[in-house]
């Protein structure tokens, strides 16, 4: 089965290089009209460049349709304007890949509050801004595919990235509510946790690994997750051609009563509380409450 994006309009943020560029090029190659958004700054979020224009030129040279946008994801009004221009030119917006991001890595002891706030603002609030800007359009047209970009740092932690990790796990949480709210409007929302050799990670990977972890080896997952037959509410890890699924799970748990309903009781039954036998994957927050009710009735 061939996956095509003919007739679809896609917005990719942070698409001036790295993963975003790979996504934009492949979406265009498969028929999508693409808004290439990139502020074009350095990886710490400072400065500007014409990176988006260069990607648009690549797409057009290959016979595709694209427009550049230099708006900042942290400015909601600029994202609304970006969506309006896409709709004016092409009639709608069907796909949004929230990829824009920055790094300001330091241990938490040395991290300034501004560095924490800025990274959360770009990744988490920026993705919310872009998503809000397209949300009503997707509801009206009864079609939308949205991809958030999380990270293994958000899912599992990484030294020196408290700001980045907080933002990235926040994005996975945003997905888990938006997939519920978008379901009846045929809006599917997923999360990708990519591992790629890009400008943001070039000093982390040794040379040979940097090539293996090319952005192009992540793009297949991203495009599947915004395709017509995409799943929804998935967290997908991707890197070097390896694709994985991550889940937020819940153990069956243990009910404590009487004298055991105490810190000492929790300590005494800790092994049962964390026993992963029969572990579940709730599809909404309500399912956790339901699992508690089940124990109360049992």
Q: Please indicate whether residue 164 is annotated as part of the active site.
A: yes
In the 8-state DSSP scheme, what is residue 280? B
Query: d(Cα 167, Cα 153) in Å, to the nearest integer?
Result: 10
DSSP 123: I
- Within 10 angstroms of residue 110's Cβ, the number of other Cβ atoms is 8
Q: What SS3 state is found at 143?
A: coil
Name the active-site residue from 23, 143, 164, 179.
164
CB atoms within 10 A of CB 120: 17
Contact 121, 74 (CB under 8 A): yes
Cα 225 to Cα 148, 193, 220: the distances in Å are 10, 12, 9
- The answer to whether 197 and 215 are in contact (CB under 8 A) is yes
Alpha carbon distance 44, 284 (integer Å): 35
Q: In angstroms, rounded to a whole number, what is the distance separating the alpha carbons of residues 19 and 16?
A: 9
> Would you name the residues annotated as active-site residues?
164
């Amino acid at each position: 089965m061939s996956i095509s994006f003919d007739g679809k309009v896609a917005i990719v943020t942070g698409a001036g290089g790295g993963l975003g560029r790979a996504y934009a090029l492949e979406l265009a190659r498969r028929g999508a009209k693409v808004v290439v958004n990139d502020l074009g700054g350095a990886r710490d979020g400072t400065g500007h460049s014409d990176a988006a224009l260069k990607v648009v030129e690549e797409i057009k040279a290959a016979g595709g349709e694209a427009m550049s946008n230099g708006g900042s994801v942290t400015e909601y009004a600029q994202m609304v304007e970006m969506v309006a221009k896409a709709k004016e030119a092409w009639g709608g917006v069907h796909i949004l890949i929230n990829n824009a991001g920055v790094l300001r890595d330091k241990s938490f002891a040395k991290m300034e509050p501004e560095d924490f706030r800025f990274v959360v603002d770009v990744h988490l609030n920026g993705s919310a801004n872009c998503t809000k800007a397209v949300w009503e359009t997707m509801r009206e047209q009864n079609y939308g595919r949205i991809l958030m970009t999380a990270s293994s740092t958000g899912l599992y932690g990484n030294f020196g990235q408290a700001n980045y990790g907080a933002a990235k796990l926040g994005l996975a949480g945003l997905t888990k509510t938006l997939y519920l709210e978008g379901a009846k409007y045929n809006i599917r929302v997923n999360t990708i946790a990519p591992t790629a050799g890009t400008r943001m990670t070039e000093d982390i990977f040794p040379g040979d690994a940097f090539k293996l972890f090319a952005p192009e080896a992540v793009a297949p997952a991203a495009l599947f997750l915004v395709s017509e037959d995409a799943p929804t509410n998935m967290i997908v890890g991707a890197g070097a051609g390896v694709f994985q699924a991550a889940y937020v799970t819940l153990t069956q748990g243990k009910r404590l009563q009487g004298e055991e309903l105490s810190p000492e009781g929790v300590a005494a039954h800790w092994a049962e509380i964390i026993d992963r036998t029969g572990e579940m994957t709730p599809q909404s927050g309500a399912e956790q409450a339901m699992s508690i009710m089940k124990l109360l009735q049992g």
